[in-house]
Structure 1
């Protein structure tokens, strides 16, 4: 499977991209994702000698220190997810394909319960539920308004800030909207966010896939900067 339904080939321009041109918080966010997905820990000064995105990819791949294998992780992630759906919902796994719609297996009235069951079976969070758009938009407006409120009355501004941040936390804890639509998309998400746990053999890795995942994250950062 291609990551996220597209091919991720790191172009020469991306490989040679200077890390100094990337916001340090964006790099930190990428490293946090890598630590979680690839079971790594980075030291404070470990990366200071790296100057390009390509060097960062090579460093992370070398740090994983597992046997390289050419097998496809997203395919293995799909098989694990299919088994989890079949076992928790009690349906024939042969009826589940990468194009199967999640809403067919996760009806709204029992969605959060079933997602929790899937996560317990798999052993990690899927993070596929979110609050409705109108909720996040309303809380975002309130958060912005609270900052303006500080200029008029700090107590009102502080109250708005606390309320909006608490609202975001509760909204994401109770959110019931699907963030992805198909089983295949969940498998791709598993591959990126829980790479080793999604593999059949967690003592091996596919170096090419690591570069593809890092390129995906890097592309996300680049698109955010451009917007």
Structure 2
């Protein structure tokens, strides 16, 4: 049975992710280098071949857990025996002082956790406002632009002062950190573990392209 091809919008979503993945893994595609790639498996293999770091087969998610745990201990946010994979993030980051505690960990660990967000009803309201405002630009330019500016400012405030946590446990946060900051959490700098890298890259594209994993790994590129 022939595998189904990704549609043009899904391919565009993957293309939109390329600059970020290049920056994350410190490489650059040559012009038309991905033009003849037939599917996501080949695409992953190409990405891995471009990553010019030493291959050391150590578990990155384990290193991410230790790095996170050490930060929580050093910042006196929690005690070692309380930091388990199943520990609830709401226990580590109480709502009252959540923003400051997350900032402390980020400053200690050296990168953003991207953990906090505004309530869903605010996010949905801002998305609807953005869509309506974009449409209004063609009808009433000033009103449409005003709506776009308000929605952008709203998203900024939401990202700055949001206190909601969409994931639940330390385990989920470790997985998120590993996907988004793979090189930074490696204990031995400028190294990768190629035996786990394809799965890490695949999961990152699933999170950022909006394409279901099964479809992404089985569909062709056209």
Match of 1:28 among 2, 15, 22: 15
Partner of residue 59, structure 1? 46
From 78, 81, 86, the counterpart of 1:91: 78
1:170 and 2:157 matched: yes
2:168 to 150, 166, 181: 181
Give the Cα–Cα distance (whole angstroms) in 1 for the partners of residues 55 and 14 of structure 2.
Answer: 25
Q: With the length of structure 2 as denominator, give the TM-score of the two structures.
A: 0.83
Alignment length, in residue pairs?
Answer: 211
Counterpart Cα distance in 1 of 2:49 and 2:202: 16
Name 1:193's counterpart in structure 2. 180
Which of 65, 68, 80 is residue 78 of structure 1 equivalent to? 65
State whether structure 2 residue 141 is matched by structure 1 residue 154.
yes
Do residues 206 (structure 1) and 206 (structure 2) align?
no
* Deviation at residue 75 of structure 1 after TM alignment: 1.0
Q: Any stretches of 5+ residues in structure 2 without a counterpart?
A: 216-222
Deviations 1:139-160 (A, max 9, x none): 1222222234335422212211
Distance 1:142 1:203 in 2: 43
1:54-111 C-alpha deviation (Å, 9 max, x unpaired): 2211111111122223221111100100001111125321221111111112111211
* Post-superposition offset of 1:22: 6.3
SS at match of 2:104: helix
* Secondary structure at the counterpart of residue 164 of structure 1: helix
3-state SS in 2 of match to 1:89: coil
Conserved? CA contact 2:84–2:170, under 8 Å? yes
- 2:218 corresponds in structure 1 to none
The change in CA–CA distance for 1:183 and 1:198 in structure 2 (over 3 A counts) is same
Between 1:18-27 and 1:198-207, the stretch displaced more is 18-27
Q: Which has the higher contact order (CA 8 A, sep 6+)?
A: 2
Is the 8 Å Cα contact of residues 19 and 51 (structure 1) preserved in structure 2? Answer: no
Task: Give the match for residue 101 of structure 1.
Answer: 88
Q: Is the 8 A contact 1:39 1:196 kept in 2?
A: no
Q: Which moves more between the two structures, 197-206 or 118-127?
A: 197-206
- Tell me the distance in 2 between the aligned counterparts of 1:73 and 1:209: 8
Gap change, CA 1:154 and 1:167, over 3 Å in 2 = same
Equivalent residue of 1:188, what SS? helix
**Residues 55 and 192 in structure 2, CA contact (< 8 A), matched pair in contact too:** yes
Change (3 A) 1:21 1:149: closer
1:223 aligns with 2:212: yes
Output the TM-score relative to the length of structure 1. Answer: 0.82
